């Protein structure tokens, strides 16, 4: 993910009244450099060298604050909430394939909503989300 996306996320954080701290910036950078969903526990493990006293509650509060303002998006995999950098800065609409082993995401360029919109002509559709789960090519090779 680009440096511009990191700066855009920091600006969004400030615009929504969240104080710009080194911990929050490092949290944004962590997600910007990962191409997959992470659990809160994985976030804590990745940040523990730099922030050994960072509590799980603080991580969760910041993750959900970032979701609320559109920096992160969530999904659920194996009954656990997972987070990743939002794709809104990409400038185009897309969906994701999510690997059930490594949580890597792959962008899907086709949107199935076109099919449903034809069937729901008189309905006002507000939003949608489409995710495909499976095993990515890299994990399939090591199985």
CATH number of the structural domain spanning residue 66: 1.10.10.10
Domain with 106 in it: 92-142
Nearest to 65, CA basis, from 3, 16, 30, 4: 16
CA distance to 40, 98, 121, per residue, from 37 (Å): 10, 8, 34
Strand ranges of the sheet holding 95-99, from the earlier edge strand across to the other edge: 105-108, 95-99, 131-134
Same domain, 103 and 67: no
Kindly report, residue by residue over 1-29, the tens digit of the pLDDT: 578 889 999 999 999 999 999 999 999 99
Same domain, 71 and 19: yes
Query: Mean pLDDT over all residues of the chain?
Result: 88
Same domain, 117 and 129: yes
Helix, coil or strand: residue 113: helix
Q: How many domains does the chain have?
A: 2
Same domain, 120 and 71: no
Same domain, 79 and 106: no
- As a whole number of angstroms, the distance between CA 123 and CA 34 comes to 37
Span 126-134, average pLDDT: 84
Same domain, 34 and 67: yes
């Amino acid at each position: 993910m680009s440096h511009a996306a990191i700066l855009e996320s920091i600006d969004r954080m400030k615009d929504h009244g969240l104080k710009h701290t080194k911990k929050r910036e490092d949290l944004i950078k962590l997600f910007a450099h990962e191409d997959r969903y992470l659990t809160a526990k994985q976030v804590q493990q990745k940040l523990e060298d730099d922030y050994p006293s960072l509590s799980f509650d603080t991580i969760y509060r910041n993750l959900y604050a970032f979701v609320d303002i559109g920096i992160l998006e969530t999904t659920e995999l194996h009954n656990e909430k997972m987070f990743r950098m939002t794709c809104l800065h990409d400038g185009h609409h897309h969906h994701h394939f999510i690997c059930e082993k490594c949580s890597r995401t792959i962008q899907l360029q086709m949107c199935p909503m076109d099919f449903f919109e034809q069937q729901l002509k008189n309905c006002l559709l507000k939003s949608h989300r489409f995710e495909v789960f499976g095993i990515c090519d890299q994990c399939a090779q090591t199985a």
